[in-house]
Amino acid sequence: LAVGMRRAGGLRTLDAGNTGTPLVDAIALDLDAFVVEATSFRLAWTPSFRANGAAWLNLAPDHLNWHRSMASYEAAKAQVFANQRPSDVAVGFVDDEVVMRRLRDAPGRHVTFGADGAEYHVAGGSLHGPGGEIAEIAAMRRSLPHDITNALAASALVLETGLVDPSAIVDALSTFTGPPHRLEHVGTWDDVAWFNDSKATTPHAAAAAIRSFDHIVLIAGGYDKHVDLSPMAADRDHVDAVIALGATAPAIVRAFDGVARCDVVDDMAAAVEVARLIARPGSTVLLSPGCASFDQYRSFEHRGEHFRDLVTNEFHEEDPCPAR
């Protein structure tokens, strides 16, 4: 989204880092700005990384099969602010206690975002910043709850660094659909919407997706990163049925104890088959694993592509319905 805002403002830019383009390759390109997704793995081994604008969205247990502890994971993430100068901007999510504690110690200028109580916030059906209204939420192509907070964070980054003006933000929000595997709408058939959220490799990310829909048939599970999966079931009242797969299938079933139906299947093909059988008109089939993919796939992209292919093949003889 931050890339889209910069491009709408006429800047030559791309996303680098934990994407298809490593930062070491991107810096050789003729561009005006970079948007870098800096993972905790890279930050842990990059003591000199500095960004003119850096946003920390949240901290939730993850990658504890790699980091020694939550403390070391937090310390790695905090490197995103560590080398900033007073003229740089550090952007933090107002509703995350750890992020706000780390933001207070950041050497850059401090800016907050969140639905309420932040400099970049929601008011009267619009996104607002210190300079006033940025864009109406109704103008966003998609406005699920996490879309709104992401839009606030991206707006803070591009405005506080002085790279674009609000008109570019409006243009970007009106056309932005999101990258593949991030609540990607695969299609709607028989009034059942199918979404590919394979990028949700943490319970926190899956929980955000689950909050976005009602009457969900959830496909979840995967590689075991030794994190507590119960937070993804915080809004289990949104879930009608769970289809668990992968190494963490038993833990998924335990986390969603009390949901009317829980099935355990061997693979994604079986999950799609069961989902089609049990989904009812008006429901949403949501692949949001809450886990990494490495027990059965090369990457979350590989998993999402397989899910998408299975779904489109399942309905290849039927015309899709308009998205709800």
Instruction: Return the SS3 of 121.
Output: strand
pLDDT reported for residue 318? 79
Instruction: Return the SS3 of 154.
Output: helix
Query: Distance between CA atoms of 133 and 166, rounded to whole angstroms?
Result: 9
Query: Distance between CA atoms of 53 and 57, rounded to whole angstroms?
Result: 13
Mean pLDDT value across the chain: 95
> How many CB atoms within 10 Å of residue 223?
18
Q: Is the pLDDT of residue 324 over 70?
A: no
Q: Is the pLDDT of residue 323 over 70?
A: no
Q: What percent of the chain has pLDDT over 90?
A: 90
Closest to 53 measured CA to CA, from 31, 67, 38? 38
- Residue range 293-313, pLDDT digits in tens: 999 999 999 999 999 999 999
Domains and CATH numbers, the chain: 2-175 (3.40.1190.10), 184-314 (3.90.190.20)
Conformation bin of residue 244: beta by default, left when phi > 0, alpha when psi is -120 to 50: beta
On whether the CB atoms of residues 33 and 2 are closer than 8 A, the answer is no
**For 133, phi and psi rounded to 5 degrees?**
-65, 135
Q: Which two tokens stand for residue 264?
A: 């355990």
Q: pTM here?
A: 0.87
